[in-house]
Amino acid sequence: MTDELTLEQLKEKVRVLAGAVADLENRRQFFEVLLRSLPGIFYVFDEKLQVFLWNKNVEEVTGYTEAEISKVNLLSLFTGPDRDTIRKSIRRVFERGEHVTEADILTKDGRRIPYFFTGMSTVIGEKSYLVGVGLDLTHRKAVEGALKESEALYRIFADRMTEGVLLFCGKKILFVNRALVEMCGYEDSPRFMDNEPLDLVTEGFAMYFREMYEALEAGLCQERFFQARWVARGGREFWAEGRANHITWMGRPSILVTCRDITEAKLKEISMQEEAEQLRRENVSLRSSIKDRYRFGDIIGKSPAMQKVYELILNAAATSANVIVYGESGTGKELVARAIHDMSSRAKNPFVPVNCAAIPENLLESEFFGHKKGAYTGAHTDKQGFLDLADGGTLFLDEVGELTPVLQVKLLRAIEGGGYAPVGSNISKASDFRVIAATNRNLLDQSRKGLMREDFFFRIHIIPINLPPLRARKDDIPLLVEHFLRVYSPDKPPTLPGQVLEALTAYDWPGNVRELQNVIQRYLTVKSLDFLSPEGFSTPENSPRPSFYKGGESRYDEGDSRGNPPHPPFVKGGGAVAGKGEGATAGEDKSLKDATAGVEKSVILEALEQHRWNKSKTAEALGISRKTLFRKMKRFGL
């Protein structure tokens, strides 16, 4: 029984072994078919270069049949230096375990095919074998050849160009042509390429070029034109003009710069500008040489204080520096700004006045930088901003202290040449404009309190001009009165009685020239001299009393042209309204709408004078928005 069981067990083992052998054979056949079907060429050979296994591609590539390939010496598939290369590579595989190389296979019909070979050694049954794969490089070599030819052609073309050519990626210069090397005073390209791109421009243009390079690398624009001072070897400076373009080089965003030396032409241009500027200064000086000048453009006054202002205007007009005009409301800050613009080299270009306090905060960027169609609800078309309109001219920022710090940053960038982008656009634009700002605030205090950026303050605070209030130049009041009389009665300007002129001169004028203009206009309209004070209409204590005075509210009334006595004022709501007689009511001969408008105008004017024409405080005191206040001021001509 034991012998029979043993026999059965042996039979079972034979069956299992047979199955395993069959399985191994199937796997061998599978892997052999797989290896023979691999792309490229696959091969296995020993240290004596005897081939044990290869795939079908070996036969197709070399042109040898299966019978022939087994008899071919591997080294005979290579000639010349390639044979030595392959011999050394095979030795290194068996010595080091792996190696790669390139060589041309020589086919049976004499063709040469470039191949990349990789091999690694393995031990099977205590015998070393080399297992390797070869990849056809024909297509890649063709592409490389074409690229080399193109690169050589472009290098020859670039080197023979008279314009300078520079290619760089990040901070690394990749290529520079001979023209730019010589332009910058270097002996050869390697020494030039030790620089970084920003080393090539003077310090004054570094910020502009950094912004330009960053915008190009980020793809925000494809091309930028520039004109700037460059630095040659040894510190010599020269003017260069050209273009910078965004390109892709070796899969990375890069910048291609072409430029030319324009030093000679630029120096001639600067010389001509200086000559023209000198002639303009001489002309302005000649026109302004009279010591007792009483008018400067649209500015009226001959007092010593105004003579100093005129000199500052002349000095500011002769330069391109930014200007800040300080003065109380109503002193004529915009007139000073216009005078500077009209006498400057920008006179033929636009003067763009902007009341910074009148623009809602949510519209500031759109108003200054413009917007693209569809940028936000209501943006139905593209719109130019103040900076677009002021290109080549002057941007007057009235009440500049009202600008938000966020807008100050963006304006500063534009002022310094960094450009700006309209709302809804990522394309940077540039505008050549001069800034003249105006304010009735102490901007230095605002800067210290953090309400104004310090860098923005110092950028606009180059030439400060302080306008004196009217009470500090009362000698100019008769001239101003005469001017306004001619403006409002051009055909036959009236003559004011002496006591009226005395009252005008004695008054403190908290609203300055604007208030004087309003008083004269009102006087010519109603034949009544009214002054606004925080308490209401009144005349100053040191001026002659008018015919009727009551409780601090008074009005100088001349009476009518037939010699009838003046009428007492009709007092209501703290203000005096012209009346027709004792007990007359406001608007007796007027509609209710006109009477209401008159009272509203008086109340607004009183509030403006009380708060020295500060619109924000006035609007707050009246309980209305600044936008509503500006609309009503425009309606009433205030």
Q: What is the pLDDT of residue 636?
A: 81
pLDDT tens sequence across 509-529: 988 999 999 999 888 888 777
Q: What is the pLDDT of residue 567?
A: 33
* Closest CA relative to residue 130, chosen from 241, 35, 42, 18: 42
Q: What is the pLDDT of residue 399?
A: 92
Q: What is the pLDDT of residue 547?
A: 33
Largest Cα–Cα distance of the chain, in whole Å?
163
Tokens of 75: 């080294």
Q: Scanning the structure block, which residue is given the tokens 């965004």?
A: 246
Q: What is the pLDDT of residue 284?
A: 64
- Terminal-residue alpha carbon distance, the chain: 132
Architecture (CATH level 2) of domain 292-468: 3-Layer(aba) Sandwich (3.40)
524: how many CB neighbours lie within 10 A of its CB?
Answer: 16
Q: CA 90, 96, 97: angle at the middle one, nearest 5?
A: 80
* CATH 3.30.450.20 fits domain 157-261: yes
**Per-domain boundaries in the chain:** 1-30, 38-136, 157-261, 292-468, 507-589
Tokens of 133: 């794969």
Q: What is the pLDDT of residue 537?
A: 45
Contact between 140 and 115 (Cβ < 8 Å): no
Fold entry, domain 38-136: Beta-Lactamase (3.30.450)
For the chain, residues with pLDDT lower than 50 are 1-2, 290-292, 533-590
Q: What is the pLDDT of residue 449?
A: 85
Note whether 38-136 and 157-261 share their fold. Answer: yes
3-state secondary structure of 569: coil
Q: What is the pLDDT of residue 297?
A: 79
In whole angstroms, what is the distance from residue 497 CA to residue 515 CA? 20
In whole angstroms, what is the distance from residue 385 CA to residue 380 CA? 15
